[in-house]
Amino acid sequence: MPKPLLEQLKEGVVLGDGGYIVELEQRGYVVAGAFTPEVVVTHPNAVRSMYEEMRHAGAEVLQVMAFYGSREKLATVGAADQTFAVNQQATRMAREVASDRALVAGDLSTTWKWAPDSPSARTLVAGMFDEQIEAQEGVDLFIGETFFHFGEARLCLERIRAKSTVPAMITLSFRASNVLDDGLSAAEAAKRLRDAGADVVGVNCMRDPERIYPILQEMRDAVDGFMAAQPAAFRTTWETPWFTGSPAFPDKMDPLVLTRYEMADFARKAQAMGVQYIGACCGAIGSHIREMAKVLGKYREERVWKFDPDAPMSETEYNWERRGARAPGAAPIAV
Ligand SMILES: [Zn+2]
């Protein structure tokens, strides 16, 4: 079995996985707009194959495919009564695929029902987190992710702590500014989450690596301890730094997908910045995670391919020869 998360983080970088829900929409199994995870019970094999893809690519943690898996969000597609089953089945499949080769992270995410200073919203959201935590019993850690409000992130951490003993990682999401929707800066939010007992704090989704670095740096300067970064693999701009703000979202994102090498550069840079949990979010599939695994020294190539640049036997070999790459750096070559 893999070592527990905190032990692994003490020894070095842990590689997370990529984004599931947007990719499952691309593959035709998830409804754009709702982006809810009932696919877990309607098309379990589609989810299982993504878990397998991530693990095969080198991910050391499989995140339970329960994004937007809260009762009120599933109700938007008429699947409220399947909430427990969806969360439980997503967890069971992740565990089966992870086997003894990866950790399994429970997943909790923004509910869209949080409202600052509202006791009734707090009760509703806490109840939804509790239901998901119970359904995801047996995970190795919990990740609370894609929170735009500090208050909701803080409540998520509180419920994980109340109902479970495994490590808790909380990651926040930023759109136009480096300030959360309830007014806290990235630095202040990270500090408060850390003080409240989060084992790992950080950033996920919405922004591409380039636009996530300033936030990461702000957090890194503000807190000691483990940090996480799981950016989107869609190219954004400083004008509109978050991908869901692009007019191309959700159904014309294809030309905006970052290359595997851009995500590998991110992994290298995040490591240099002192981030220990490095993964990715929406837009990142197996090819991105594989390249990230390579630069982090976590990928073992099993294929053997004899590449003779003087006698190319494929278009790839011609291309690499033209690029002057007789033995391309991270390419799967064993001569
Ligand atoms: Zn995402």
What residues does each domain of the chain span?
Answer: 5-300, 302-335
In Å, the largest CA–CA distance within the chain is: 71
Distance 285 CA to ligand 1 centre (A): 12
Distance 320 CA to ligand 1 centre (A): 33
Distance 21 CA to ligand 1 centre (A): 8
Distance 172 CA to ligand 1 centre (A): 11
Q: At what angle do helices 186-195 and 209-222 cross, to 10 degrees?
A: 50
Give domain 5-300's CATH superfamily.
Homocysteine-binding-like domain (3.20.20.330)
- Could you give the 3-state DSSP secondary structure of residue 179? strand
Distance 230 CA to ligand 1 centre (A): 8
Q: At what angle do helices 119-135 and 150-163 cross, to 10 degrees?
A: 50
pTM, to two decimals: 0.95
Say if residue 330's pLDDT is above 70. no
Distance 23 CA to ligand 1 centre (A): 10
Distance 264 CA to ligand 1 centre (A): 17
Distance 175 CA to ligand 1 centre (A): 12
**Residue written as tokens 């509910």?**
111
Distance 205 CA to ligand 1 centre (A): 4
Local confidence band at 323 (pLDDT 50, 70, 90 cut-offs): confident
Say if residue 328's pLDDT is above 60. no
Distance 89 CA to ligand 1 centre (A): 21
Which pLDDT belongs to residue 131? 98
Say if residue 27's pLDDT is above 80. yes
Say if residue 335's pLDDT is above 50. no
Average pLDDT of span 277-301: 95
- Give me the chain's average pLDDT, please: 94
Distance 41 CA to ligand 1 centre (A): 21
Distance 19 CA to ligand 1 centre (A): 6
Q: What is the DSSP letter of 335?
A: -
